[in-house]
Homo-oligomer: A and B are copies of this chain.
Amino acid sequence: MASADKFEDHCWKDVVPESDMRIYAPYARDTAVGPNPALLAIDLYNLVYEGGPNPPSEIAPQYPSSCGIHAHRAVEPTRRLIAAARRAGLPIFFCTQDIRSNARPAGAVSTKRRGRVMKPENYAIYHEFPVRDTDVMIFKQRASAFQGTPIVSHLNVLGVQSLIVCGEATSGCVRASVVDAYSSGFNVAVVEECTFDQTELTHKVNLFDMHHKYADVMALAEVEAHLDGLAQRRAPAKAS
Contacts and interface: CB of A to CB of B under 8 A. Distances in A.
Bin the interface of chain A by size: 35 or more
B156 A141 contact: no
Given A105-B91, A202-B20, A209 B142 contact: no
Interface string A120-163: 00000000000101011101011110011111111111110100
Max chain B CB contacts within 10 Å: which of A27, A112, A199? Answer: A112
A23 interface: yes
A106 to B, nearest CB: 8
A119 interface: no
A206 interface: yes
A150 B153 contact: no
B154 A105 contact: yes
A87 interface: no
A15 to B, nearest CB: 7
A67 to B, nearest CB: 10
Copies per complex of this chain: 4
B157 A212 contact: no
Contacts of A13: none
B102 A214 contact: no
Q: Which applies to chain A's interface (DSSP): helix, strand, loop or mixed?
A: loop
Contact of A147 (B135, B136, B151, B183): B183
A240 interface: no
Given A113-B213, A133-B102, A184 B19 contact: no
A205 interface: yes
A106 B131 CA distance: 17
A105 B143 CA distance: 22
B144 A183 contact: yes
A213 B158 contact: no
Nearest to A185: B156
Given A103-B136, A150-B104, A156 B184 contact: yes
Max chain B CB contacts within 10 Å: which of A113, A137, A213? Answer: A213
A26 B176 CA distance: 21
A213 B112 CA distance: 5
Interface in A195-211: 198-199, 201-202, 205-206, 208-209
What are the nearest 9 A-B pairs in CB distance? A156-B185, A148-B150, A153-B185, A142-B183, A111-B213, A19-B57, A102-B137, A20-B199, A205-B205
